[in-house]
Amino acid sequence: MMNYKIIRSKRKTIALQVNSDATLTVRIPYGVSMGYVERFIEEKRTWIEKKQAQFSELKAKYKPRQYVNGEEFLFAGKPYELEIVPGSTARIALTTDGRLRITEKCLDAPKHYIEWFYRQFAKRHIKARTKEIAEVFGYKFASIKINSAKTRWGSCSMRGNLNFSWRLVIMPEEMIDYVIVHELVHLEIKDHSKRFYARMSELMPDHRRREKWLKVNSGMSTL
């Protein structure tokens, strides 16, 4: 049997809610029997377990980082193991054998230094990639800025300025590309109309799969 919390209220139907800590809340109308609730939950078991698994996976992915040797950091979707080396000046680098190497000095404020490094990486990576893709599809943009947005991967202003969150570079390459193409198409079509999605399908036939992946694997909207 599954553990859950019941909230009775003046409502007509039963509603199930899987919370972000993977617990289950069941909202039911007054007068509904526990037997009925149990059967209802049993019927929805597959859906509930799937949601719970998604939340646990997310939790594991976004658990607070520890700044110790071997801790994993993602750059363009690839894992890099943290390696702390001696050094009294702050230095950070990605090595070709998959390590994020930082000097001991960085441990004074590791989050600060590593975020700074992510921003630098994002600037290089996203700018280069956006230029490449824009050229292939014939789009012209005014500028690219990298911000720290936590709720939006990217945006496009009326004047053709593109903005991307540095957090995007944690995601796999193909997801970064999806957000870039999405914002480039906004240069031409500002809203999310049928026309917008028709253009997306033309330029990136599997864009829906990528958008869905991003939604499931992050709490952020793709805009």
Rg over alpha carbons for the chain, rounded to the nearest Å, is: 22
Dist CA 34 CA 17 (whole Å): 17
66 vs 201, beta carbon nearer Zn ion: 201
User: With binding defined as CB under 5 A, does residue 189 bind Zn ion?
Assistant: no
Helix locations, the chain, DSSP H: 34-43, 45-61, 110-137, 173-188, 194-203, 207-217
CB of 12 to Zn ion, least distance (A): 36
125 vs 182, beta carbon nearer Zn ion: 182
Quick count: other Cβ atoms within 10 Å of Cβ 175? 21
100 vs 181, beta carbon nearer Zn ion: 181
117 vs 163, beta carbon nearer Zn ion: 163
* Window of 1-9, 23-31, 37-45, 215-223 that interacts with Zn ion by CB under 5 A: 215-223
Residue 82's φ and ψ, nearest 5 degrees, are -70, 135
Binding to Zn ion in span 9-38, by CB under 5 A: none
CB of 194 to Zn ion, least distance (A): 14
CB 164 within 8 A of CB 118: no
Interface pick for Zn ion out of 14, 37, 189, 223 (rule CB under 5 A)? 223
CB of 95 to Zn ion, least distance (A): 36
Q: What residues does 24 pair with on adjacent strands?
A: 18
User: Which residues in this chain contact Zn ion in the complex, by CB under 5 A?
Assistant: 223
